[in-house]
Amino acid sequence: MGQDIQHHAFTQADFREFEARLQAETALLERWFAENVFADGPRETGFELEAWLIDRRHQAPAPIIDAFFEQLQDPLIVPELARFNLELNSTPEPLCGQAFSRLYAELERTLAHCQAAAATLNAQVGTIGILPTVRPDHLVPAQMTPRPRYRALNEQILRLRDGEPIRLEIEGERPVLIEQPDVMLESAATSFQIHFKIAAVESARVFNASKLLAAITVAIGANSPYLFGRELWCETRIPLFEQAVSVGDSPLRERVGFGIRYAEDSVMECFRSNLTRYPVLLPNLMDEPVERLAHLRLHNGTIWRWNRPLIGFDAGPSGAQCPHLRMEHRVVAAGPSAIDNIANAAFYCGAVQALASEPRPPERSLPFNQARINFYLAAQKGLNAEIPWYDHPARMPIHQLIRQHILPKARRGLNALGIDRDEIDTWLGVIEARAATRRTGAAWQRAWVARHGPDMAALTEAYLAHQATGKPVHEWTLD
């Protein structure tokens, strides 16, 4: 859920001062875009992978984050909203040569470190979009990680809702309809967030290409078909997260969503809308120079676009900090395996590079509203969703679209980035096999339940056993 703050109680004076600083930092960022002062180094990628702590005996969420971190000393691993969540981060990796194999090796080491720490507490770490055994009684304030940021977010979202409970309503064979008096529903949704470093001059193209690709990547990475024992969307995490932090206002002001249009000139348009459309949630005042954009970055971190531009800083040759831009692609679920997650990253990086480099911008051929429809249809129906594409206007199942149209583009994109040919074959081969078999994490879970019945604890146990083999999900059996 982002960077921490020091306290959770704020005054009206805090809000006024924060808004003034936010305006000043947004004006400075506008100038930076106009003058193109951003770092223009080589492409880089990285990720954030959210995970669950799971009780080995009951296969249920294990709220042991404090004890877990006592066993663990790793700067790449940080707590999340609930006491049973954590986040694994990568170091930035230049997009060349064997980039994705290096990311995979680092992720494997980090996961092994986490598993060793969890084992001392009779628990394990699992990566899955929504844990099948999670229940509403797990998602209560007593299970919130004791960090001021989370308490403040909860208080401020409820303030914007005038104290009205959050309403969760998701369609399915047995729809979910509940009311929640806090934001803890968000902790049931874990994702794999892919970062892609970009130049300012191409930011609109990359942003728009990421929106086009969101339907494709949410379908191929779907891994959240069950919530509270009910079969819902292939990627139920999408409506769950959107509704879990809803402020109950105009759709233009909701904190999670697909957006309302493509970018025209640059992603500076997103930062302008942050200032004008989204009320401040965390007016935490920081003693930082305006050039650090501390308040702008904190505010941006409370607006969870499915494709979100980020500002970071690199050390320049003289030691001075130089700003850079990243695109954060947030639509893919955590899991099913480390191989699957890194393959998803390779697929996105290659495809977004290719689409953003085409002579005619693809977004000119697919209206924004259709891209939005594609995204939610893909989240519901996964690889079987039939959608139009910018260079194939007739509707086609996504699994065919991937194999016939998008994988060749992703291959060209990775080749243009300088990724080794055998590396491209390895990681896009995982995507090809997954699309050919239509065996995503969501599809495997549904097939397992069809064979063995709706025992969510047994499903979780079988899932974790397969995950432990390290094999990609298209190779999993239904044992």
Distances (CA, A) of 46 to 76, 78, 102, 335: 12, 16, 11, 16
Strands 256-257 vs 304-305: parallel, antiparallel or unpaired: parallel
Q: Is the Cβ–Cβ distance between 133 and 60 less than 8 Å?
A: yes
Tell me the C-alpha distance between 348 and 407, whole Å. 10
Indicate whether 404 pLDDT > 90.
yes
Residue 368 confidence class, pLDDT cut points 50, 70, 90: very high
Tell me the C-alpha distance between 20 and 7, whole Å. 20
Question: In terms of C-beta density within 10 A (0-12 exposed, 13-18 middle, 19 or more buried), how is residue 374 classed?
Answer: buried
Residue 407 confidence class, pLDDT cut points 50, 70, 90: very high
Residue 42 confidence class, pLDDT cut points 50, 70, 90: confident
Q: Is the Cβ–Cβ distance between 302 and 256 less than 8 Å?
A: no
Residue 321 confidence class, pLDDT cut points 50, 70, 90: confident
Residue 1 confidence class, pLDDT cut points 50, 70, 90: very low
Tell me the C-alpha distance between 297 and 134, whole Å. 32
Residue 4 confidence class, pLDDT cut points 50, 70, 90: low
140 is written with which tokens?
């209560």
Instruction: Provide the percentage of residues in the chain whose pLDDT is more than 90.
Output: 92
Higher confidence at residue 21 or residue 4? 21
Q: Looking at residues 185-206, what average pLDDT do you find?
A: 97
Question: What confidence score (pLDDT) does residue 460 get?
Answer: 98
Question: What confidence score (pLDDT) does residue 466 get?
Answer: 98
pTM: 0.97
| DSSP annotation of 84 | T
